[in-house]
C-alpha cells in the first residue's frame, strides 16, 4: 500500500475511536437500550480491525471493505441525524427498513469479496481473509435477526432468511469463482 493509503487508514482508525463517543453519549443520556451487544461488538471489532490493518499492512486487502463500510455509514449517520432532529423530521426518515437492507447487502458483498481472496492469494494475508469472512457472517446473521424480528412477513424465521441468503451467496460465489478461475486446459488430450 502507498503511504497515502496508510495515512487514510490511520485517519479512519482515529475516526473509529471517536465513534466510541456515541456509546458514551447513550450512557450519559441513560439510553441504555441503545448500548446493545451488537453496538458494543461492532465498535470493538472495527477498532481492533483497523489496528490490525495498520500493524500488519493489510490495506490492499481490506480497502474495499473500508470504502463500502464508510459509504454505508454516511447513509446511516444521515438517518441518525434526521431522526435526532425530532418529530418534525419524522416524515423524512421513512427509509429505516431500506437502511437495514443496505447494511445486509454490505455484509453479503463484504463476505463475497473477502472470500475471493481464497482464490486470489497473491498479496493477501490469509488470517485477514478468515477474520473478514467471519465478521461479515456474524454481522449478517445479527442484522438478519434484527430485520426478521422487525419486518418479518409471512412467518419466515431468521434461520429461513439465513439459509436462503447462504444459498444465494454460495451460488454467486460459484459464478465468481468460475469466471475468475476457468477449468485448466488438458494439454495431454489426444486429438
**CA neighbor of 19 nearest in space, from 44, 49, 36:** 44
| Residue among 77, 171, 47, 174 at smallest CA distance from 118 | 174
Name the catalytic one among 42, 43, 73, 113.
42
The set of cell numbers assigned to 76 is: 446511516
The C-alpha atoms of residue 100 and residue 178 are separated, in whole angstroms, by 30
CB neighbours of 17 closer than 8 A, spacing ≥ 6? 47
Answer whether 68's CB lies under 8 Å from 109's CB.
Answer: yes
Q: Mark whether 42 is an active-site residue.
A: yes
Distance CA(9)–CA(54), nearest Å, equals 7
Map grid coordinates 432468511 to a residue. Answer: 161
Taking the C-alpha atoms of residue 114 and residue 108, their distance in angstroms, rounded to an integer, is 10
**CA–CA separation, 43 vs 17, rounded Å?**
8
Could you list the active site residues?
A: 42
Amino acid at each position: 500500500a502507498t503511504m497515502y493509503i496508510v495515512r487514510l487508514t490511520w485517519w479512519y482508525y482515529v475516526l473509529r475511536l471517536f465513534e466510541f463517543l456515541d456509546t458514551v453519549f447513550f450512557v450519559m443520556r441513560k439510553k441504555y437500550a441503545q448500548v446493545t451487544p451488537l453496538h458494543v461488538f461492532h465498535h470493538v471489532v472495527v477498532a481492533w480491525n483497523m489496528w490490525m490493518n495498520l500493524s500488519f499492512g493489510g490495506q490492499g486487502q481490506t480497502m474495499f471493505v473500508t470504502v463500502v463500510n464508510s459509504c454505508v455509514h454516511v447513509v446511516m449517520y444521515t438517518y441518525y441525524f434526521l431522526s435526532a432532529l425530532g418529530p418534525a423530521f419524522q416524515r423524512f426518515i421513512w427509509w429505516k427498513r431500506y437502511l437495514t437492507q443496505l447494511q445486509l447487502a454490505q455484509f453479503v458483498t463484504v463476505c463475497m469479496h473477502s472470500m475471493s481472496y481464497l482464490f486470489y492469494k497473491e498479496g493477501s494475508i490469509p488470517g485477514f481473509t478468515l477474520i473478514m469472512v467471519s465478521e461479515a457472517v456474524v454481522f449478517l446473521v445479527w442484522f438478519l435477526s434484527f430485520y426478521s424480528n422487525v419486518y418479518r412477513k409471512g412467518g419466515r424465521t431468521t434461520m429461513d432468511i439465513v439459509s436462503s441468503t447462504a444459498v444465494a451467496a454460495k451460488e454467486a460465489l460459484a459464478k465468481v469463482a468460475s469466471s475468475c478461475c476457468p477449468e485448466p486446459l488438458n494439454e495431454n488430450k489426444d486429438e
